[in-house]
Structures are given as structure tokens and as C-alpha cells.
Structure 1
Amino acid sequence: MVCGKPLRFNAKKLGIHLTTAFYWRHKVLCAIRAKGFDSLAGIMESDETYILESHKGHRNIEAVFGRKPRRSGGKAMKRGISKEQVCVLVAQDRQGHVLFQVGGMGRIDFSAIGAILGSYASGMTTLCTDAEAKYRKFAKEAGVDHQEISARAGVRVKRGIFHIQYVNAHHSRLKLWIRQFHGMATRWADNYLSWFRFMDKHGQLDRAEVIHQMLVSSCAVSGNFPVAALKPQKGRGLFHRAPESP
């Protein structure tokens, strides 16, 4: 996982079945994800990016979703941002604490912004975003100072401190990292985001130390992630929600 090797390679290397390798991968990711995020506070910046939805691994895409399977990730049928795109909201404070979370399909709405950033509002002093009105509304209702950064107007930094450059850099690295999977299954999006966040945080360390950190992180929280909870179930919805840790 640290080296980004595919499941078939991992299964062969460990002498286990491909399905077992899949469940082991997601048990590790569910455990890392269950640790949650560090508390964000002070000056925060937030922006969203979009990734093409994928039903990779589904055996009957055409019958269930009404379209032919894409090859190696493929392209959206519609131009621009649509319901074919998974919205990923990224936020970071000036202490380097980062949050990655799925915000739904298509353009993010006000309720999704509130659900993701609302719990951090009490410690937030300033929220830096683009000129999207939904962020402006959230900041007003949360009683937080809001600084709009309008790249279209040629403004990238205000007063030398307010910008969204850190989260935009995360967007670029995330999309580059996802390419190695040739399509990321949408139902596992939050798990993959936890994986990327871990590697982005620890990737500069020695490889042996990164492996050690991943092992420690996956054991740091007491959790129950049975195989049955990871299998597809009717009524679960588009995204997989990992069972909560006790």
C-alpha cells in the first residue's frame, strides 16, 4: 500500500486470494479513517475539487447504471461539473492540519459545506475561499470572517496572508496520485482520501518508517470492521460508510 502496488501484486506476494487482499486493504483504510481529522482552527482555507465517478469492480454496470463501463478511468459524458463528478472538499489551517472529505455528487451545496466545516466553526477565525456564494452564506451564519479569493479577478493573495494556495496544491497532488489506480471506485472514495492523506503526510519519511507509521495508525483506534460490513449491500447508497469505531 505504501508503494502503491496493485491488489493482484499484493495477493501474489503474500500468497493470499485477491478478494482477501481487497478486504485487508480496506480494513486498514477503515481503521486509519476512523482516527478522524485533527482539529482545524484559526485561519482556514477551503475549496473543492471534482473527480470522475467510477463503479470500478461492479459486475453489471450497464444494467444497473445505464452506461457502458469506462476503460482506464474514461471520460465523463457531460462537459463541466455534473452529477458524474464526485465533489471532494479540502480544508487546511495555517498549522498544517488538513481535512479531505466527499461532499456529494456534482456541485457542492450549502448543507454539505455546513455538514463538513460546521464542527470547526467555533475555532475558526477566518475562512478563505473562492467567490462561491455558498461559502459566503456559511461564514455569515457561522459568524466567521470571510475572505474571498477571486482568481478570475486576478486576486490570488489578499493582505499577504489570505489565500487558498495550500488546498489547491492538495488538489493537484490528489489527482496525480489517483491516476495510478486507473479509476477510483466512488463507493470507496472516503477510504482512498484517507489513504492519500496518510501518504501525503508521511510520504517524505524513509520507506520503512512510513510502513511503521501505517501499521501504528491502523492499530491506534479500537474498531470493528468485519468483512460483511465491507461487502456491497442493497440500500447502502453511492458511498461506503465505514462502521463506527467503539
Structure 2
Amino acid sequence: MKAPCFREWFAALPALNQPQRLQVLDALRPAAGLHEVLALIEQCRSPGRRCPHCRCERWNRHGHANDLQRYRCFSCRRTFNDLTGTPLARLRLKGKWLDYLETLRASRPVRAAADEVKVHRNTAFRWRHRFLDRVKEDRPARLSGIAEADEMFILESQKGSRKLDRPARKRGGTASRRGISRELDCILVARDRSRQTVDTVTGRGPVSKVQLERHLLPFLDRDVLLVTDANAAYRAFARAHGIAHQAVNASAGERLRLGPQGPIHVQNVNAYHGRLREWLMPFHGVASRYLPNYLGWRRMLDGGNITSADQLFRLAVGPIHSRR
């Protein structure tokens, strides 16, 4: 639009009635959202930008494509943009990303998020797991002091799969066997008294010493006191690695006892289990293959560290190009 036409149009804005103003704001929202997203991408990527193909730090600008600045590497001569190599590569409708991230912060189901952002429900589902791909890796480096650990189990689900390796269950169904079996996904949650949380899907069935070594050991501080229930796998794990360990025998009615470092219980981690189960209910079943994404999503919300869509976007992009 030429400048005189723009000035004439801009001067007429005060004459618009309320519905017309809302219509103009809705029309301008994607453009404003696109500008904000492009500015965030530039802020995240400009420090330490490097070629995602060969890690070379020398590049030159090479035009624009899909609203993004392209670059050409001096070494391998391949082109890239600031989203190449990230989970957000090749996603469209960038102007709606921040609005969608607000629906993630509000834990909206797929259809509700799609209606709110005005995209197809398949797009909303795809965006959900692209944006959460890096969020699930955002864990604390170490658990220190008194760290509680316990497992929770949910029914294994192949929701959305074209082929099942078992007979189909109607509306979720229930396990065919009582107790802890291979029909249940095991979610290990460890949480210290400063509310630092580590969670992971260890597999199906009861947790083992080998799984604890793989999923829990890297996050435990050397001087940590590990508090668990009476599961023998924890006792063998702690003994093998010289970790201070206290067990609470809940089956014998023991809930809490006093120790030299403070109260010995697993109530914090069990409370987290309860919040996680309640939070999962509106989704009406989560496919097992996507369960790590939902765990990261819930951990992000429970920590309260993500207070805006901008912060979530920075976490979703991740420092791919600057990693060594």
C-alpha cells in the first residue's frame, strides 16, 4: 500500500465500530505474531550460529524463503535457516505459533486448541509434539539433599497406531491381569525437597536395577539420600553404587519417620503422581509412544518456570546449532 493510501486508511480507524475493530485486530494478529516469532528466532539463533550440516561457523546470507533468512555455509556450501535441524523445521503458519503455545500453557486438548487458534486438529496435534520435543529433555542436572523416588503405572496404549500387537480394547479398557504386569507402562519419578523433578518411562512392568542405573543414576548427586518404598530393586541399586538409601514400608502401614537429615517419606513424589494422573484425564488416553512428551509438558507446568509463550518457544527451539 502506498503511503498516501495508508495514511487515509489509518485516519479512518477511529470511525470503526466495535465489531469492525475486532475484525481488523483478528486480521492483523497473524502478521503481528509472525513478526514476533521471527524476532524470537533471530534472538535465539544469532549467538553462535553455525551450519547444522558440518558445524562450520562461517556463512553468508543467501536470500529468504518461507519468511526466514537463508544462509550458505562456506565449507560444505549447503544452505540452511535458523530452524534447520530443529523440531520446528518446515512447520507453516508461523504467525499462529505463539497463540498455540498459550494453549499448551493452558493444557488445552487438541480440538479445543485447534478451535482457539483456528487450525485443523491434525495440525494442532502435530504442533503439540513438535513443540514438546525439546521440552521433554529439560531436566535438572542433579537431585540433591533428600530425593524421593517411586513409580506409577498407567495402562499401555497404542492409540493412533494402524497395527496393534494385541487385541484391541474398547474405549481404553483395563488390563487382563491384576497387579503390575507387562500391560502397564512404568513411569519413574524422582523429586528432591527443592522440587527438582526427574521423570522417565522405564518400560513396561516393574522397574529393575538395570533400568534405575540407566534412568536415575545420572541425576543423583554423590551425597544424596535416596528415599523409596520397600521395592528390592532400589535397595540393590543403592547398594551397588554406594548411595545412601532409606526405605519406607508402606505395606506395613509406615508413612513417615524422622531421620538425621529430615523426615523420611515419599509423600512429595506420590503427590506429584496424583497431580499427573489428574492432569492426564482430560486427554482421554495418551499413546505410550508420546508419553515422554506429556511427562515433559507436565513437569514444565508443575515447576512454574515457564510463565509466557516466549519462554516456551525458546525451550522448544533449543540450542541445536550452537551445541558442540
Instruction: State the TM-score bracket (shorter-chain normalisation).
Output: 0.7 to 0.9
**Partner residue in 1 for 2:110:** 7
Q: Which runs of 4+ in 1 moved over 6 A?
A: none
Cα deviation for residue 195 of structure 1 reads 0.6
Distance 1:90 1:24 in 2: 26
Distance 1:120 1:32, change over 3 A: closer
Cα deviation for residue 122 of structure 1 reads 4.3
CA RMSD of aligned residues (A): 2.2
Conserved? CA contact 1:43–1:124, under 8 Å: no
Distance 2:139 2:122 in 1: 27
Letter in 1 for 2:292: D
Deviations 1:119-159 (Å, cap 9, x if unpaired)? 13443431111111110011111111111101122221221
Conserved? CA contact 1:41–1:124, under 8 Å: yes
Superposed counterparts of 1:1-246, under 5 Å: 1-60=104-163, 64-71=164-171, 73-159=172-258, 161-202=263-304, 209-219=307-317, 221-223=318-320
Conserved? CA contact 1:40–1:124, under 8 Å: no
Distance 1:8 1:177 in 2: 17
Deviations 1:29-87 (Å, cap 9, x if unpaired)? 11212333342122211010101111111234xxx32212431x332222111111000
- 5+ long unaligned stretches in structure 1: 225-244
TM-score scaled by length of structure 1: 0.80
Matched pairs, number: 217
Distance 1:113 1:2 in 2: 31
Which is greater in Rg? 2
Distance 2:269 2:223 in 1: 16
Cα deviation for residue 175 of structure 1 reads 0.8
Conserved? CA contact 2:152–2:273, under 8 Å: yes
Conserved? CA contact 1:29–1:218, under 8 Å: yes
Conserved? CA contact 2:159–2:287, under 8 Å: yes
Distance 2:236 2:158 in 1: 34
* Bigger RCO of structures 1 and 2 (CA < 8 A, at least 6 apart): 1
Deviations 1:195-230 (Å, cap 9, x if unpaired)? 111111229x9xxx34444334324x2249xxxxxx
Larger deviation, residues 18-27 vs 101-110: 18-27
TM-score scaled by length of structure 2: 0.62
Conserved? CA contact 1:156–1:163, under 8 Å: yes
Conserved? CA contact 2:146–2:224, under 8 Å: yes
